[in-house]
Amino acid sequence: MHARAPRLLARAAPAAVTLFQSTAAGVPFVEVLKSQGIFPGIKVDTGLEIIPGTDGETSTQGLDGLGERCKRYYQQGARFAKWRAVLKVGSSSTAILENAHALARYAQIAQANGLVPIVEPEVTLGEGDYTIEENAYWSEKIYSHVFRLLNEYNVVLDAILLKPNMCLPGLDAPTASPAEVAKYTVRTMARSIPPAVPGIHFLSGGMSEEESTLNLQALQEAYPNAPWSLTFSYGRALQSTTLKTWAGNKDNVAKL
Ligand SMILES: O=P(O)(O)OC[C@H]1O[C@](O)(COP(=O)(O)O)[C@@H](O)[C@@H]1O
């Protein structure tokens, strides 16, 4: 692990297989993370499947046997779980309900097994010239359904983390300024996310490293008294330059 990683990461969510692996020196990955003050977690969904009768919309799989798996992951040292639902501006009501239901069942099962569920309803950044207002409308609609189902399944809201998208215009529309992104994103959260949720950890969703950083900074500065902590759980915006620079070659580690 890179020496700067512990300063940057509070938690890490490897795939199931990695949770049970060790370093070349034989130290379990879980122990490496714990010794650096990083909470290990686990992605528990098993991927996407097309919902028949829709225009390629997906439902996230992985509920079968989830309780048993969560039990094993907890014993192995995991303390949180992650499940990603993929939605879009203009999602059908079938896709919204299906994904909200699966997120709620997953969160309920994860909590019953001692894991903090990261609930990730991602309204993907797509092609088209839709406006930031349209993205905000669909994001609000989708999050509201997700929370209706979380409540339906008695998920303890104080013990989840939300991983949503920021509100952004379509890829073919003019880009929005960080101030606009902050305004629409926090308005959407204020309308649909209960204050009991402790943290909103945004995904980067295809934003560049710089864009995602500036947008997050704008959000935090504009809303210092937001009821939830506003922070990040970036994938691509954290890893892409690092992976490119490293390129699997240990001689490049010093450049990181
Ligand atoms: O692991 P999954 O569920 O396939 O998700 C893919 C990526 O999407 C994320 O959930 C969000 O990633 P981005 O920040 O790049 O949008 C990452 O954590 C994850 O690596």
Class of CATH domain 39-255: alpha beta
Ligand 1 atom nearest 83 alpha carbon? 3
Cα–Cα distances in angstroms (integers) from residue 27 to residues 19, 33, 51, 223, in the given order: 12, 10, 42, 42
Percent of the chain with pLDDT over 90: 78
Residue with the bigger pLDDT between 242 and 144: it is: 144
Domain locations in the chain as residue ranges = 39-255
d(CA 108, CA 103): 9
186-207 b/e (C-beta count within 10 Å ≥ 16 → b): bebbeebbeeebeebbbbbbbb
Please, which pLDDT band fits residue 85 given cuts at 50, 70 and 90?
Answer: very high
239 CA to middle of ligand 1, Å?
A: 11
Cα–Cα distances in angstroms (integers) from residue 19 to residues 32, 43, 233, 242, in the given order: 11, 10, 19, 22
205 CA to middle of ligand 1, Å?
A: 8
Encode pLDDT of 35-64 as tens digits.
Answer: 888 889 999 999 999 999 999 999 999 999
Q: If you take atom 3 of ligand 1, which residue's CA is the nearest one?
A: 84
| 4 pLDDT higher than 80 | no
Encode pLDDT of 164-198 as tens digits.
Answer: 999 999 999 999 999 999 999 999 999 999 999 99
Give the single-character DSSP code of 29: H
Residue 190 near residue 147 (C-beta atoms within 8 A): no
pLDDT score, position 241:
87
| 9 pLDDT higher than 60 | no
| 14 pLDDT higher than 90 | no
pLDDT score, position 20:
87
Please, which pLDDT band fits residue 256 given cuts at 50, 70 and 90?
Answer: confident
247 CA to middle of ligand 1, Å?
A: 20
Please, which pLDDT band fits residue 239 given cuts at 50, 70 and 90?
Answer: confident
Please, which pLDDT band fits residue 242 given cuts at 50, 70 and 90?
Answer: confident
From 49, 84, 239, the mutation candidate for ligand 1 (largest count of ligand atoms within 8 A of CB) is: 84
| 115 pLDDT higher than 60 | yes
Q: If you take atom 6 of ligand 1, which residue's CA is the nearest one?
A: 235
| 7 pLDDT higher than 80 | no
| 13 pLDDT higher than 70 | no
pLDDT score, position 240:
86
Among 24-33, 43-52, 102-111, 205-214, which stretch is predicted with the lowest mean pLDDT? 24-33
163 burial (CB, 10 Å; 0-12 / 13-18 / 19+) is buried
Mean pLDDT of the chain: 93
pLDDT score, position 2:
54
Percent of the chain with pLDDT over 70: 93
Average pLDDT, integer, range 96-113:
98
The model carries a pTM of: 0.92
